Amino acid sequence: MKLLRSLEEFVFEAIALLLFYPKTLLRIMFRPLRAMQYAEQEEAQAKTTPYDDAVSPPLLLLITLLIANGVGLALHVPQATDASHLARALLDSPQNLLMFRSLLFSLIPLTAAVLLLHRGGQATSRTALRGPFFAQCYLTSPFALLISLGLIAMQTPRTGFATGGAVACTLALVWMLGVQAAWFRIRLGISTLAAMAIGVSLLTWAFVCVFLVALLLATF
């Protein structure tokens, strides 16, 4: 009976994702600050059923990257022929690629949460990190989707795909920078210019991490 109950719960949650995943993603895209505030409130309150009308932030990010992986596989995106052994081990395995993307994109919410606590004069602890980290996972999800799909389009040898991919990546960066600046401005009570500088430094750090990882993959 317990096994049947567990199976019923799994099926219900899987079907519910068909409704709540796009609903949550659209809420973040069009009302990002409200969605981030919602995540922090859910983490601050000890509810028996948190995120009852949405998908939890880490799960949303993971599903988003899973979708991006699936699109890449479906379009048969070509890989570099001169890739190193380590790069091939990652790129040739969908599971490894998903884990790799998850790790890279998770650096953004982690770094943003640490920056917020540091600039706010708070001690860094798991409890303090949880709220802003979950809020940033929400923000990172549509960003990761647009960037991933944009890069996939740029690697697809079809007319117009490269231009569309570049536009998608540019829109994702502009949207991410604007929301990050607004979030830091509200949370820290600083000027728009100072908040924009934090947002730029955050994205710069993310690109440096990606560059270092790419350099590592090209070397080994």
Domains of the chain, residue spans: 57-219
Could you tell me the pLDDT band of residue 133, with boundaries at 50, 70 and 90?
A: very high
pLDDT digits (tens, 9 = 90+) for 71-113: 888 877 666 555 566 566 666 667 777 888 888 899 999 999 9
| Residue/partner pairs of 178-185 with CB below 8 Å, 24 or more apart | 179/32, 179/33, 179/139, 180/112, 180/139, 182/33, 183/32, 183/33, 183/36, 183/135, 183/139, 184/115, 184/116, 184/119
pLDDT digits (tens, 9 = 90+) for 152-185: 888 887 777 889 999 999 999 999 999 999 999 9
The whole-model pTM stands at 0.89
